[in-house]
Amino acid sequence: MGRLLIIVLVLVVAVAALGYWQGWFTVKKEDGKLKVKTDPEKFKQDRKAFSKTVSEKAKDMEEKIAGLFKKSKGLTGDEKAQAQKEIKELEKKRERLEEQIQELNEAGEDKFDDIKRDLRQSLKEVQKKIEELTQKLEKP
């Protein structure tokens, strides 16, 4: 139970620090009292900008995957089957990225950081796999 409390506390502090750093809220002392002022528009702008960037990368990945599929048609036998299997796995991962982007668009400030981190990790993994498969298919 103690560990859960510590984890929750760390998450709250992390979200608060991120929000303050991003300008989603400010803390000021007025009349001897601390006042917290939120800026939901700033959060929405940040979310929209990140979503746009990730969506563009996902679209680019979709085009690269289509190109890989075309290249795989020139293969034969087991090589073709293996390449197309890997391409289908990439397509599933790209579709999961699209789902994560939708989750991001619907997320509040509390879940934004976690989804953003997951999206960045997923993007790196898919990009790395695309590069590996591209090199593999370009070998003579």
Q: Both ends of the chain: CA-CA distance in Å?
A: 58
**Segment 58-67, tens digit of pLDDT:** 888 889 888 8
Read off the pTM: 0.64
CB–CB of 77/53 below 8 Å? Answer: no
Query: 105 phi and psi, to 5 degrees?
Result: -65, -25
**Segment 80-139, tens digit of pLDDT:** 888 889 989 989 988 888 888 888 888 777 787 888 888 888 889 888 988 988 888 886
